[in-house]
Amino acid sequence: MLYPSIDSLLTKIDSKYSLVSVAAKRARILQEDGSYQLPKYVSHKNVGKSLEEIHAGKLTFANVPNMDDAPTE
Protein backbone atom coordinates (compact mmCIF):
# COMPACT_ATOMS: atom_id res chain seq x y z
CA MET A 1 0.00 0.00 0.00
CA LEU A 2 1.16 3.52 -0.80
CA TYR A 3 2.51 5.55 2.09
CA PRO A 4 1.46 8.26 2.57
CA SER A 5 -1.96 7.81 1.04
CA ILE A 6 -3.24 10.14 -1.66
CA ASP A 7 -6.18 11.12 0.54
CA SER A 8 -3.91 12.26 3.36
CA LEU A 9 -1.70 14.17 0.92
CA LEU A 10 -4.69 15.97 -0.59
CA THR A 11 -5.46 17.42 2.85
CA LYS A 12 -2.04 19.15 2.67
CA ILE A 13 -2.13 20.27 -1.00
CA ASP A 14 -5.42 21.12 -2.67
CA SER A 15 -5.14 19.33 -6.04
CA LYS A 16 -3.48 16.29 -7.56
CA TYR A 17 -1.80 18.45 -10.19
CA SER A 18 -0.20 20.68 -7.56
CA LEU A 19 0.78 17.63 -5.52
CA VAL A 20 2.59 16.07 -8.48
CA SER A 21 4.30 19.36 -9.34
CA VAL A 22 5.59 19.95 -5.81
CA ALA A 23 6.69 16.33 -5.34
CA ALA A 24 8.51 16.21 -8.70
CA LYS A 25 10.33 19.49 -8.10
CA ARG A 26 11.41 18.40 -4.62
CA ALA A 27 12.52 14.99 -5.95
CA ARG A 28 14.80 16.74 -8.47
CA ILE A 29 16.30 18.82 -5.64
CA LEU A 30 16.87 15.70 -3.56
CA GLN A 31 18.57 14.02 -6.51
CA GLU A 32 20.92 16.98 -7.01
CA ASP A 33 22.00 17.78 -3.46
CA GLY A 34 20.43 15.29 -1.03
CA SER A 35 19.22 17.93 1.44
CA TYR A 36 16.86 15.72 3.47
CA GLN A 37 14.34 17.31 5.84
CA LEU A 38 13.24 14.24 7.79
CA PRO A 39 15.42 12.05 10.03
CA LYS A 40 14.04 8.78 8.60
CA TYR A 41 12.14 7.82 5.44
CA VAL A 42 10.04 4.78 4.54
CA SER A 43 10.67 5.16 0.81
CA HIS A 44 13.99 4.58 -0.90
CA LYS A 45 13.17 6.72 -3.94
CA ASN A 46 13.26 10.52 -4.10
CA VAL A 47 9.64 10.94 -5.21
CA GLY A 48 8.47 8.85 -2.24
CA LYS A 49 10.71 10.85 0.08
CA SER A 50 9.27 14.10 -1.21
CA LEU A 51 5.71 12.80 -0.65
CA GLU A 52 6.68 11.88 2.91
CA GLU A 53 7.98 15.42 3.44
CA ILE A 54 4.68 16.84 2.17
CA HIS A 55 2.79 14.52 4.53
CA ALA A 56 4.97 15.65 7.46
CA GLY A 57 4.24 19.29 6.68
CA LYS A 58 7.82 20.13 5.68
CA LEU A 59 6.77 21.17 2.15
CA THR A 60 3.93 23.53 1.37
CA PHE A 61 2.36 25.00 -1.73
CA ALA A 62 1.10 28.55 -2.14
CA ASN A 63 -1.05 29.52 -5.08
CA VAL A 64 0.31 32.87 -6.30
CA PRO A 65 -1.92 34.75 -8.73
CA ASN A 66 -0.48 35.44 -12.16
CA MET A 67 0.20 39.15 -12.67
CA ASP A 68 -0.88 38.91 -16.31
CA ASP A 69 -4.40 38.02 -15.18
CA ALA A 70 -4.68 40.97 -12.79
CA PRO A 71 -7.44 43.47 -13.58
CA THR A 72 -6.27 46.71 -15.17
CA GLU A 73 -7.49 50.15 -14.19
Q: Give the model's pLDDT for residue 3.
A: 86
- pTM here is 0.80
pLDDT along the chain (73 residues), means of 10: 86 92 94 91 93 91 70 59
pLDDT value, residue 49:
94
- Long-range CB contact pairs, 2-8, < 8 A, 24+: 3/42, 3/43, 3/52, 4/51, 4/52, 4/54, 4/55, 8/55
Q: What confidence score (pLDDT) does residue 62 get?
A: 79
